[in-house]
Amino acid sequence: MKVAVPREVFPGERRVALVPASIASLSKAGVEVLVESGAGAGARIADEAYAAAGARIVEGVEALLAAADAVLKVRPPEGDEIGRLREGTTLVCLMDAYFRLGLLEQLAGRRVHVFGLEFVPRITRAQSMDVLSSMAAIAGYRAVIEAAGLLPRYFPMLMTSAGTISPARVFVIGAGVAGLMAIATAKRLGAVVEAYDTRPAVKEQVESVGAKFVEFDLQTADAEAAGGYAKAQSDEFYRKQREQMKEKVASVDVVVTTAAIPGRKAPVLITDDMLEAMHPGSVIVDLAAERGGNTEGVVAGEVVDRHGVSIVGYTDYPSRSAVHASQLFSKNISTFLLNMVKEGALRFDLEDEIVKGALLVHDGQVVHEAIKPLLSRQEGA
């Protein structure tokens, strides 16, 4: 069985799906790893490092994909990559499936088997395959680093002969993996940190990493969906939430927002009038910018100034830490693949909760239960 690792073609993407350290376990399972020349350059990995680990270096993506039984990628295939995936190939990557329905249909038409790593179930057995958590932790860390660089003041309290500097105040909205890492990072930098989440159950986690948990007067009994994710709420809920949040964001120096709903546009939590109430020089880092953002006026991929507040809309935080992001991604994706490798070949056990949960396209059909209704509505529109 041959597994191919192509160079990522998405603009600005520096991660690579597999690092040399993961090759030994694949080779032991009877898998031959083929790597496109230069695939690891963005993560500072030379071709020689792959070759030394036992991979075969292939010049050019066309030859690479023509030889592959399975293809491991970070981002979904684009452009010429799609047409070069041969029938029967298995593709494993972050598919961004809710927003790439047309691509799923294309891949189904080419009879490519597709696994979306964002759908790996959050169960104990799959923790080492959880790409979303690995990448979210990096995003939370980088969010605070970006904020510290833009904020025109120190994060920590300093007592000097020239006077005392009070610590920065940081407010984190959303206490998932990214939010908890943002809290911990801001705390390590010396800030006073507060956090809010619609799920009351995360209060203990927030406090365990050093933040004060902020509670608003809202009905949150059903705020948590399956898998531990925050559940989408009504427009009235978000309206009341914004009213109570305005006073809080006006009192802090940095806000990090992480509220994202799988398959949905991100809810707007910080409105223009809330921005006007913030101190000039304040910073908002919006980790939901790729899906419309939690902040009114955010621009995906850019930093904009609105009412004297810097709003950071970067969407590539894991890529900005490509070395460690690739290391973690590689462990996740190789463990996922090895779960299906039996006697040197891929075996799709559709009774396996992990395999079934992540399988999007199989035998020429889109098969995922969360995606099929979206295709039906699209066809009926």
Compute the CA torsion angle 65, 68, 69, 74 (nearest 10 deg).
Answer: -60
Query: At residue 276, what are phi and psi to the nearest 5 degrees?
Result: -60, -30
Out of 47, 106, 229, 320, the active site residue is 229
Instruction: Map tokens 């940095």 to a residue.
Output: 254
Q: Which helix (H) or strand (E) holds 32?
A: strand 32-36
Please provide the DSSP assignment of 64-129 as one string. Answer: HHHH-SEEE-SSPP-THHHHHSPTT-EEEE---GGG-HHHHHHHHHTT-EEEEGGG---SGGGGGG
Q: Is 378 an active-site residue? A: no
Out of 75, 110, 130, 199, the active site residue is 130
User: Is-contact 305 298, C-beta < 8 A?
Assistant: no
Q: Is 229 an active-site residue? A: yes
Q: Is 363 an active-site residue? A: no
Spatial CA neighbour of 273 closest among 302, 304, 239, 300: 239
Q: Is 130 an active-site residue? A: yes
Q: Which helix (H) or strand (E) holds 355?
A: helix 353-358
Out of 37, 106, 133, 244, the active site residue is 133
Provide long-range contacts, Cβ within 8 A and 24+ apart, for 101-106.
101/371, 101/374, 101/375, 101/378, 103/76, 103/77, 104/360, 104/361, 104/366, 104/371, 104/375, 105/366, 105/375, 106/82
Out of 96, 127, 305, 378, the active site residue is 127
Out of 56, 122, 306, 320, the active site residue is 122
For the annotated catalytic residues, the residue numbers are 122, 127, 130, 133, 229
